[in-house]
Structure 1
């Protein structure tokens, strides 16, 4: 049975819990009313005609109220103004829309802090990240691409000589699950990365923290924090031993690797708790869990910062996708 990492349950180490503890809804509502009272008539018309309809649409997606009645899974149509229509390469199209043509020459950390491309599955996230890394010129950053290979092993108490033969080094290297750094990690100076483990929560190095690579050595990476506590500080990230976050295997695996992943694109799950100015949602496959579509769409601060690219199996662009909301989840929520 899957088990939670202890740090997930510790409110002083889980970044999402820390963010929620700092959220004060009554004060937020009071501030909203104060600011709304200052709006001019023209600003109020803009709010009523543009901002409010978009906000209501988002809330209806979160509550599963679009195309009712439904049994928890329903196909919904995405407004045309949010769609990206790609005639050829969808990855190139969404990268161009969210990061622009000149992102490869961008060295302002705030540029990467403000945007991300989200997708429900790791394999699409990996494709986008590898595409974007390939666009970074080595000459511009005066730094060659560096490739880091992990050292993988199993706990000796969990295996026998026979197991060692079955669980070969090649097999261990091939394991790629959510929350586990890759066996082969390729980085360049200037690339955005995300932490996959808590290293120093008080210093801002929590699971989900985003950084920009500034220097690379054999056993340590230097990076600048771009979100959360310690923003703009340079930190050192060492190689550490990491195990898969849940018990998917009949043995306990250990991987010694830098606990980071490229973050031009991240999974919808990893985006929880983050606020972004520009979000691209890449959906070559449908969302598959409760509330996943709402989480992705609500990461963005404004309507104009959200773009969605939906394709079917042959790569043809679509304007409809699946929304999954099991309403019984809300039955026992105390308001």
Structure 2
């Protein structure tokens, strides 16, 4: 487990609390059917601005530091929250004009996450990168973490066909999205030094809360936005048996 790599004495308690969340052993509050996050488990923040400042302090001066950028992210259960946080952080970068959130307006130094397998195992769905150069049909980017960390790669526009549209159509686009924030599902397999968790919209599937909280190894590096420390923890006992 990640916590075994830490020298912080609180890591052992954190690991036990994580297992209780994963196994559904934390008692549900009778009125809300939510769990209450333990006092020593994380730092609870009051709003999205405080969450962003906790995970990305002084981002205007730090965003070009790839090592700093690769160690942190904000997770959320729903893509609507991911998009909102990414848009808000993107506005903090220097010389970044206002933009509607449905447009992918890229900027050198922005972290991105790959949404398709282009060249496994180097270039897979979920790979985090940072943009180095932008042209009309090609992005030059640096891989942020993993075995191929630091490698410079080229990202082409590729044909994509939406599966949920009643009218079939195809468009060429970059298979990426911003990665200051990402969905909890996309974060699986990634390790971070600092992690934020937006639970204004709570987790909705089995094990999501455990996955999100276990991206870091000690409680001082986990920042959570959850009113009164209450949140949903979906655990299907049959899956664990």
Q: 1:132 to 1:183 in 2, by over 3 A?
A: closer
Residue 266 of structure 1 aligns to a residue whose secondary structure is strand
Question: Which of 211, 221, 230 matches 2:148?
Answer: 230
Q: Which residue of 2 aligns with 1:135?
A: 92
The CA RMSD measured in Å over matched residues stands at 2.8
> Scaled by the length of structure 1, what TM-score is found?
0.65
User: Whose helix fraction is larger, Structure 1's or Structure 2's?
Assistant: 1
Aligned residue in 2 for 1:199? 118
* Contact residue 145 and residue 187 of structure 1 kept, 8 A: no
Q: Deviations over 1:43-65 (max 9, x none)?
A: 7xx64xx2222111100110111
* 1:112 Cα offset (Å): 1.2
Residue aligning to 1:56: 16
* Bigger-Rg structure (1/2): 1
Measure the CA separation in 1 of the matches of 2:158 and 2:98: 18
SS at match of 1:211: strand
CA distance in 2, matches of 1:257, 1:195: 12
Instruction: Give the one of 22, 31, 34 matched to 1:75.
Output: 34
Q: Does residue 213 of structure 1 match 2:213? A: no
Please name the residue that 2:70 is paired with: 113
Q: Is the 8 A contact 1:194 1:211 kept in 2?
A: yes
Stretches of structure 1 lacking an aligned partner (at least 5 in a row):
1-24, 37-42, 139-143, 148-181, 311-316
Aligned residue pairs total: 236
* Structure 1 ranges of 4+ moved more than 2 A: 83-86, 144-147, 247-255
Q: Distance in 2 between matches of 1:98 and 1:69?
A: 29
How has the CA–CA distance of structure 1 residues 54 and 183 changed in structure 2, closer, same or farther, with 3 Å as cutoff? closer
Q: Determine helix, strand or coil for the equivalent of 2:35.
A: strand
> Gaps spanning 5+ residues in structure 2: where?
none
Alpha-carbon deviation of 1:252?
4.2
1: CA distance, partners of 2:166 / 2:84: 29
Shift of 1:249: 4.0
> Relative contact order: is structure 1 or structure 2 higher (C-alpha 8 Å, sep ≥ 6)?
2
Aligned to 2:215, the other structure's residue is in SS state coil
